[in-house]
């Protein structure tokens, strides 16, 4: 959409203890802001020009003792071919999971949600694109 895009801002929950960029970039600066959220700049391998695309993958590790029951990701600009997955460590698996859409990263209520299957130790969803939204998973232990 524009020349010079060189970072992806990854907003995440405060109980993330490690962020690894698997390919396509590097972890950059960290920013902390309201509601206990943190943002990390994922610096792309090369700046994009208008119309160019890139691919990158990152992995977030959460505290083992966290009792969280959701993960959300915001998209302010358009992102295409988005694959979101949560892997549960150890033998603990959720009984039920839901795919959710919120209008704000801090909103309590969802705009819409629907059941999604837990497959082994994962919940996962691929989207052709997201834009100006917050999406993610909620689950029940």
pLDDT tens, residue by residue, 52-102: 888 999 998 888 777 778 898 888 888 888 899 999 888 889 999 999 999
Weakest mean pLDDT among 3-17, 21-35, 47-61, 118-132? 3-17
Total-model pTM: 0.81
> Are the C-beta atoms of 116 and 126 separated by less than 8 Å?
no
What b-and-e string marks burial along 8-39, b requiring 16 or more CB atoms within 10 Å of the CB?
A: bebbbbeebeebebeebbeebeeeeeeeebbe
């Amino acid at each position: 959409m524009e020349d010079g895009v060189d970072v992806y801002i990854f907003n995440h929950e405060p109980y993330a203890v490690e962020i690894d960029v698997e390919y396509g970039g590097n972890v950059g600066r960290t920013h902390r802001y309201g509601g206990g959220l943190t943002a990390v700049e994922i610096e792309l391998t090369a700046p994009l020009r208008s119309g160019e695309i890139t691919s990158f993958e990152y992995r977030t590790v959460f505290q083992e003792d966290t009792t969280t029951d959701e993960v959300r990701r915001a998209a302010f600009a358009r992102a295409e071919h988005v694959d979101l997955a949560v892997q549960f460590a150890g033998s603990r698996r959720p009984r039920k999971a839901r795919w959710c859409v919120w209008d704000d990263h801090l909103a309590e209520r969802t705009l819409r949600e629907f059941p999604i299957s837990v497959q082994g130790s994962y919940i996962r969803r691929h989207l052709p694109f997201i834009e100006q939204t917050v999406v993610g998973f909620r689950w029940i232990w």
